[in-house]
Structures are given as C-alpha cells and as structure tokens.
C-alpha cells in the first residue's frame, strides 16, 4: 500500500489490466513513448510492448472505429481520447455504434470498451479541453459513464470498467489528477459500477454530487458542521445509469437535498437526479431541491474559471438556504 | 536590390492535371461479352464460372422479388441492387467465408452470401431484431446506416485479425457518396498505418441518392483517394464480374501477405431508385444515362460469355430463377412465423449487467407484455 495521486492510481490500474488479460489493448494519441499528455500511460509501452500499448494516427473517429473493430475480434480495447472536448469527432462511434451494439444484435455481440478521457475545469486549458460533456454521453442507453472523485476509486472503478463487457466512458477530472494523494492498494481490486459511494455520512441534508465537486462539497460540509449542519455526501461515481436506490434512501433519511454538478445547469445529470427524486421521494422532502451548477454558457475562458466554476462556498450557501427554508 | 524571378516556383495546373493517370479502369470482359485482357482472365473452373453467374442471377431475382414484396407491404426498408450484381457477387465470391464483411444498407446480398439466412435479411428489412441476431460464426455486422462508419470499424477488425495472425481479411463497402466522409479517409489511413488486412470497396454507382459523382469531389477518380493514405487504389469495371473477381482476389492476397489495405472502386450503376421509400430517379438521371448503363449490364455480358463457352443456356437460367423464387417465398414465410418482439427483451439486451433503471423497467414491461 502506498500513497498515490489519481493519475498514478490510473496508471497502476492500466498495467494490472494488461497483466490480468492479454486481450486488453491500450491506444490513442501520444499514449506510447510519450506516456500520454498527462502521463497516464507512462512506462506502459516500455513494459508491455507495442503490441499492447500503441499510438494511433491523430483522429478520434478512427480511434472509436478501431475500438469497435477490435472488440468484434475479441479484444478488450481501452482507448484514450486525449481530451473529452474532442469527443464530438467520435460521437457516432459511441452513440451511434458501440452503445447500441448488444441491443441491436439481440445480445449476440458485446463491446467491452473503456474509453478514457480527461476533462473538467480549474486547470486553465485552451477551449474545448475542459468541458463537462458527460451529460451528452449519459443520454446513450447501453453506455455507462464513470467519474471517479479520488485515487482509490479511480483504480477500482477503472479495473471494473475494463472488466465490464458493456462499453464505459471513463472520465478523469484533470484537477484531481495530482491535487492530492491517498492510500491505494498495490493489488488489483474493483470498485463496483452502478453503485454510488457515501463520502460523508450525515443526517440533516443530502448533497448529491460527483467528480471534482465531491471535494468542494466535503469542504463545504466541514464548514457546515461548525454550524451544526450535518451533511451527507453521495458521490455518484457512475453518473449513468444512476444508483437511485442509494440517493433515495439518503433523501428519505434527511428530507433535504442539494444537487451539485460542475457542468452547466441545462440538460445534464443533476436534472435527472432532481427528476427522479421528485417522482420517487417528493413527500419525504421538507424543502425544495437545491441545485448548484455552472451557468448556462459554454465552458469559460481560462482566466474566468474562478467566477464560473461552482465551489465550496456556493455549496455551503445553497445548503444553508435549503436548511432555513 | 531584389532580383526579378524568371518564373513562378510552382505550376499548379501541372500538379493537378493527370492525377488520375495511374487509375485506369481494369476490364477483362467487355460489355459485348468479349475477353479484352486474355492474360488476366481469372483462374476459375467451368463450375466456378457457372456458380458465379448463378449468384448474379440470384441477386437479380432477389432484387425483383424484394421490390415486389415491398410494394405488397411484406417487406420494409429496401435499397435496390439491380445493376450491382458483378460488383457485389464477384467481390464476395473472391472472399473466404471466414473473412469479415462490413456492409452498408445496399449490401444485403453479400451479407447473405457470407451466411446471413435469407429470412433474417427480410426481418432486418422489416425492422425486427431477429434479423440482427447473428450466429457466432457469421463474421459480419448488420448493414451500416451511418455512411462511412464501417470504414473506421474495418480498420479495427483488420488490426484485430493481424494481431491474431489470422489468414483473413475484412472487406467493407460504401458508395461514391461515402468517400466524402471523414471516416472514409480515417479508416483507410488507420489500416494503412497499421498495415492491417482491409479491403475498402467503393461501389461507385454514379449517384449518392440524387447528387452525381462529379459533385462529390474534384478528384477525377475515387480510387486515387488511396494515394493520400499511402495505399494501393484500383478502379475496376464494376459491370465486369471477371475483372471484379480478379482484382478482389489479388487484393486479398496482397492484404493477407501483410502489405496492408487496398482501395477498390467499382464502376457500376443502380438501375432502380436509391430506396423504395419515395425516391424518383427521373428527377436527377436522364433516360439516356440509364440506357448507356443498361447496355453494360453485368448479367448480359457474362451470359454471352458463358453461352459462348457452352456453359449456359436460357433453360438453365429459367430453372434457376424458379428455384430462387421458391427459396425467397419460403424465406418470407419463415420470417412471418418469427415471434413478435418485446420491449422486455430489448431492455434485457441493452446491458450485460442490468442497472437499476433497466431492472425496474423490465418489471414494468414484462407485466405489460405478459397480458
């Protein structure tokens, strides 16, 4: 057991996935010798060879199609899309092809593909690098969208995603890559898909969130505790399909809920959470559902991230508002 | 002081002129049924020649019957194939059953040749999931609807075959319009880079629905698009079954030997509309052009050739036509007997491991559908 950053946990998972299954292939732009632009695949080509870990030409749709074809030949592709903002180039491979393959072919074929992509705000990228487009992928039945919030979960969720015979979009928040370390077991392990985690237990209010906003919500909860507000934090981990059972159990316990997402408010995962709570637990609520999200503009210019991204203060303020309703 | 140039550095006209010069159309059997390249007549036995002609007759009958069944309301979506018999049947005839085919919606005949039961092809047309329930040993995907997507997938299948050291290829079809898609280039370029065994076939039938080939690209031939990906490109007379067969056979050997993909442009024509869903070719094609292509008909020229060799008679063809009609009738009856689809089974097939929303919807729909 050693303390690892999230990116180190991801690299460890990728290496172990290859060791566990010789059908696992890791490829994408700059993932070989360069080890990926964030070094997620650092050392993997050297260790496991060019047959398992290789660069592709620079074309995301090509990478998507390559993944589907390799999956049809019995491989377990783990492609990297260099930045999630480049996903539009391969949207057909995801939404038009791999997500529906099992359904379309009456269960006779499977697409055990895990697409990794970095995303998320707070690191001052040029445009189309940080955008929170996870809600778009969440629209495709057959896909899973997984977003870890910490190094331990990142390793376990990535291994579970690679082992899954269903396609997974695995999104890695860039701000979390190196911002903190925690104990990560050396051996391979899985954190289950489709299962939310409870990051903090509490009795007064439920905060439903995911990705980098889990850290912001934890900070808010620490401050709220000083004012005797005991917040429970649910980390969705798999944002599509949702683990509503865990959310509803918490909401029924606390009677109050704030949904927090980094993405813009329109569309998005948070609105699905709100909708489901409204349908299934409205009579348990003692106040309207609070919502913290980014404003409905495109992802902001680098220097404007501070005024655009939701943060711990926003969460704290919204929780107080809902508590005093 | 600056010196005056004597001439421009670049002659752009020279750079673009004659780009197509290396892409002369390959022809072995001309439209009169005469061998025009006796050195390259494929090495096919008499029985194989008869078999290839029989498959072309089958494809023509299937097209006629599918059109009639569509009009009777017994078939759904249908993209006519008449005119494509040499391009389709001779290309697939040069392939192995274990080769992987990635068809588009007009390539159902090739899919059937590779092992898709006919009644399943009919079910696909009607919009029944059983039509896409493929046996494990059918190396194929259902017809691709998104133009070009099969090309990037072909690169992946080909790389998989190479990694497994399989002695097989993937062959993927698109039309002339499909060559304008980014995926067309990405597929060729990926397969070329990986030296993966993929055969990319363009069935150039002159029109992408209504838009003529000349309006798709400034390139004089589509075969020359291979140059950009660094792979061989060949243009072949798509109405000439011997030329299509030979080009495909040699391309397959080249790919299997580890040399990478080949792009093959077959020059053909669709006699009918784009699909039977309301397209009227009179809006965009002249009767003269139709007539020109009918004179190049693949069945007529191959029939003449085989009759000249004493291998074919009208009686033989008539008997085959009756046999094929009976098989088609049986298949459509078999399609009628397939059980109705259920949302419950769709839900069960959407994921291998069912998430909560699916579990709860299965419960809802299985109650609803058990009534």
Residues B237 and B353 in one domain: no
Residues B361 and B330 in one domain: no
Q: Tens digits of per-residue pLDDT, B146-170? A: 999 999 999 999 999 999 999 999 9
Residues B54 and B140 in one domain: yes
| Tens-digit pLDDT string for chain B (371 aa) | 567 777 889 999 999 998 999 999 999 999 999 999 999 999 999 999 999 999 999 999 999 999 999 999 999 999 999 999 999 999 999 999 999 999 999 999 999 999 999 999 999 999 999 999 999 999 999 999 999 999 999 999 999 999 999 999 999 999 999 999 999 999 999 999 999 999 999 999 999 999 999 999 999 999 999 999 999 999 999 999 999 999 999 999 999 999 999 999 999 999 999 999 989 999 999 999 999 999 999 999 999 999 999 999 999 999 999 999 999 999 999 999 999 999 999 999 999 999 999 999 999 999 999 97
Q: Measure the CA dihedral B66/B67/B68/B71, to 10°.
A: 120
Taking the whole predicted model, whether its pTM rises above 0.95 is answered as yes
Q: How far apart, in whole angstroms, are the C-alpha atoms of residue B321 and residue A276?
A: 59
In a domain, B6, yes or no: no
A65 touches B: beta carbon within 8 Å: yes
Q: How far apart, in whole angstroms, are the C-alpha atoms of residue B371 and residue B369?
A: 5
Nearest to A165 among B155, B157, B352 (CB): B352
Please compute Rg for chain B using Cα positions: 23
Residues B219 and B358 in one domain: no
- The one-character DSSP state at B189 is H
Residues B359 and B327 in one domain: no
In a domain, B176, yes or no: yes
Residues B293 and B353 in one domain: no
- The one-character DSSP state at B232 is -
How near does any CA of chain A get to the CA of B160, in Å? 5
Q: How far apart, in whole angstroms, are the C-alpha atoms of residue B348 and residue B358?
A: 8
Number of structural domains in chain B:
2
CA-to-CA dists, residue B330 to A192, B69, B116, B126, B298, angstroms: 49, 13, 15, 16, 27
Beta-carbon contacts of A17 under 8 Å, excluding residues fewer than 6 positions away, are A24, A76, A78, A158, A159, A162, A163
In a domain, B4, yes or no: no
CB of A287 closer than 8 Å to CB of A324: no
Cβ distance A73 to B163 less than 8 Å, yes or no, reads: yes
Class of residue A11 by CB neighbours under 10 A (exposed 0-12, middle 13-18, buried 19+) = buried
CA-to-CA dists, residue B21 to A193, B74, B188, B222, B239, angstroms: 57, 48, 21, 12, 21
- The one-character DSSP state at B295 is T
Q: How far apart, in whole angstroms, are the C-alpha atoms of residue B200 and residue B172?
A: 5
A242, β-bridge pairs: none
Q: How far apart, in whole angstroms, are the C-alpha atoms of residue B241 and residue B44?
A: 12
In a domain, B263, yes or no: yes
A168 touches B: beta carbon within 8 Å: no
- Strand A24-28 vs strand A76-80: parallel, antiparallel, or unpaired? parallel
Residues B247 and B236 in one domain: yes
Three-class SS state of B265:
strand
In a domain, B229, yes or no: yes
Average pLDDT, chain B: 97
Report the run of H or E that residue A200 belongs to, with start and end.
Answer: strand A197-200
Residues B329 and B345 in one domain: no
Residues of A belonging to the active site: 129
B365 touches A: beta carbon within 8 Å: no
In a domain, B80, yes or no: yes
Residues B187 and B299 in one domain: yes
In a domain, B3, yes or no: no
Which residues of chain A neighbour B195 with C-beta distances below 8 Å? none
Range of the domain at B75: 18-339
Which residues of chain B neighbour A106 with C-beta distances below 8 Å? 129-130, 132-133, 345, 349
Which residues of chain B neighbour A144 with C-beta distances below 8 Å? 351, 355
Token pair of B77, please? 């979506």
In a domain, B5, yes or no: no
Q: What is the CATH number of the domain that holds B300?
A: 3.40.50.970
Closest CA to A32 of A63, A54, A17: A54
Class of residue B368 by CB neighbours under 10 A (exposed 0-12, middle 13-18, buried 19+) = exposed
Q: How far apart, in whole angstroms, are the C-alpha atoms of residue A244 and residue A195?
A: 9
Q: How far apart, in whole angstroms, are the C-alpha atoms of residue A159 and residue A142?
A: 19
Residues B351 and B330 in one domain: no
Q: Tens digits of per-residue pLDDT, B189-241? A: 999 999 999 999 999 999 999 999 999 999 999 999 999 999 999 999 999 99
Nearest to B133 among A108, A164, A242 (CB): A108
Residues within 8 A of B (CB atoms), A 70-89 only: 70-75, 77
Q: What integer pLDDT is reported at residue A124 of this predicted model?
A: 92
Beta-carbon contacts of B258 under 8 Å, excluding residues fewer than 6 positions away, are B162, B195, B197
Residues B330 and B351 in one domain: no
Token pair of A152, please? 């331990």
Query: Which residue is associated with the tokens 């098989």?
Result: B327
Q: What integer pLDDT is reported at residue B269 of this predicted model?
A: 98
Residues B368 and B290 in one domain: no
Nearest to B186 among A59, A165, A245 (CB): A59
Q: Measure the CA dihedral B72/B73/B76/B78, to 10°.
A: 20
Q: What integer pLDDT is reported at residue B1 of this predicted model?
A: 59
Q: Give chain A's residues under pLDDT 70.
A: none
């Amino acid at each position: 057991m050693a303390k690892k950053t999230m990116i180190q946990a991801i690299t460890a998972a990728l290496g172990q996935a290859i060791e566990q299954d010789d059908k696992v292939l890791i490829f994408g732009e700059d993932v070989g010798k360069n080890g990926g632009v964030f070094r997620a695949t650092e050392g993997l080509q050297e260790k496991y060879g060019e047959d398992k870990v290789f660069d592709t030409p620079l074309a995301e749709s090509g990478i998507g199609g390559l993944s589907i074809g390799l999956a049809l030949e019995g491989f377990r592709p783990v492609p990297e899309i260099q930045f999630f903002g480049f996903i539009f180039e391969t949207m057909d491979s995801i939404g038009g092809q791999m997500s529906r393959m099992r359904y379309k072919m009456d269960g006779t074929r499977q697409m055990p593909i895990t697409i990794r992509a970095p995303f998320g705000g707070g690191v001052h990228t040029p445009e189309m690098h940080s955008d929170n487009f996870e809600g778009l992928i969440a629209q495709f039945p057959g896909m899973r969208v997984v977003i870890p919030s910490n190094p331990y979960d990142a390793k376990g969720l990535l291994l579970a995603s690679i082992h899954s015979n269903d396609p997974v979009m695995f999104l890695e928040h860039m701000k979390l890559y190196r911002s903190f370390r925690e104990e990560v077991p050396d051996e391979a392990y899985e954190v289950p898909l489709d299962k939310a985690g409870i990051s903090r237990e509490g009795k007064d209010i439920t905060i439903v969130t995911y990705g980098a906003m889990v850290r912001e919500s934890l900070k808010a909860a620490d401050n709220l505790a000083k004012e005797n507000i005991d917040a429970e934090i649910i980390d969705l981990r798999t944002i599509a399909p949702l683990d509503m059972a865990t959310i509803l159990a918490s909401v029924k316990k606390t009677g109050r809920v704030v949904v927090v997402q980094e993405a813009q408010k329109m569309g998005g995962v948070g609105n699905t959470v709100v909708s489901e709570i409204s349908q299934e637990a409205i009579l348990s609520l003692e106040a309207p559902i609070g919502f913290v999200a980014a404003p409905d503009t495109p992802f902001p210019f680098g220097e404007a991230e501070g005024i655009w991204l939701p943060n711990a203060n926003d969460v704290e303020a919204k929780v107080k508002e809902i508590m005093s309703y | 002081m600056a010196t005056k140039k004597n001439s421009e550095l670049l002659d752009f006209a020279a750079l673009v002129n004659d780009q197509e010069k290396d892409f002369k159309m390959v022809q072995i059997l001309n439209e009169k049924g005469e061998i025009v390249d006796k050195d390259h007549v494929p090495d096919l036995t008499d029985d194989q020649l008869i078999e290839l002609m029989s498959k072309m007759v089958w494809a023509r009958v299937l097209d006629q019957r599918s059109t009639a069944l569509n009009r009777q309301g017994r078939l759904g979506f249908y993209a006519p194939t008449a005119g494509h018999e040499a391009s389709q049947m001779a290309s697939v005839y040069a392939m192995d059953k274990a080769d992987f085919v990635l068809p588009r919606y007009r390539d159902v005949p090739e899919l059937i040749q590779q092992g898709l039961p006919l009644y399943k092809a009919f079910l696909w047309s009607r919009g029944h999931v059983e039509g896409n329930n493929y046996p494990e040993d059918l190396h194929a995907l259902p017809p691709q609807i998104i133009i070009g997507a099969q090309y990037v997938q072909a690169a992946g299948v080909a790389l998989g075959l190479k990694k497994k050291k399989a002695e097989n290829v993937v062959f993927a079809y698109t039309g002339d319009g499909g060559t304008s898609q980014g995926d067309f280039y990405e597929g060729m370029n990926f397969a070329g880079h990986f030296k993966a065994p993929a055969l990319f076939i363009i069935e150039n039938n002159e029109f992408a629905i209504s838009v003529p080939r000349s309006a798709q690209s400034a390139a004089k031939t589509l075969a020359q698009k291979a140059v950009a990906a660094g792979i061989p490109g060949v243009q072949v007379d798509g109405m000439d079954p011997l030329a299509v067969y030979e080009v495909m056979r040699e391309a397959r050997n080249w790919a299997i030997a580890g040399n990478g993909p080949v792009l093959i442009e077959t020059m053909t024509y669709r006699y009918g509309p784009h699909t039977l869903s309301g397209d009227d070719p009179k809006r965009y094609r002249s009767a003269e052009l139709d007539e020109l292509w009918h004179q190049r008909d693949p069945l007529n020229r191959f029939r003449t050739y085989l009759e000249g060799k004493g291998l074919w008679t009208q009686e033989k063809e008539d008997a085959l036509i009756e046999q094929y009609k009976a098989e088609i009738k049986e298949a459509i009856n078999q399609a009628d007997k397939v059980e109705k689809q259920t949302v419950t089974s769709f839900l069960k097939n959407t994921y291998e491991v069912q998430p909560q929303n699916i579990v709860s919807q299965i419960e809802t729909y299985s109650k609803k559908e058990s009534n």
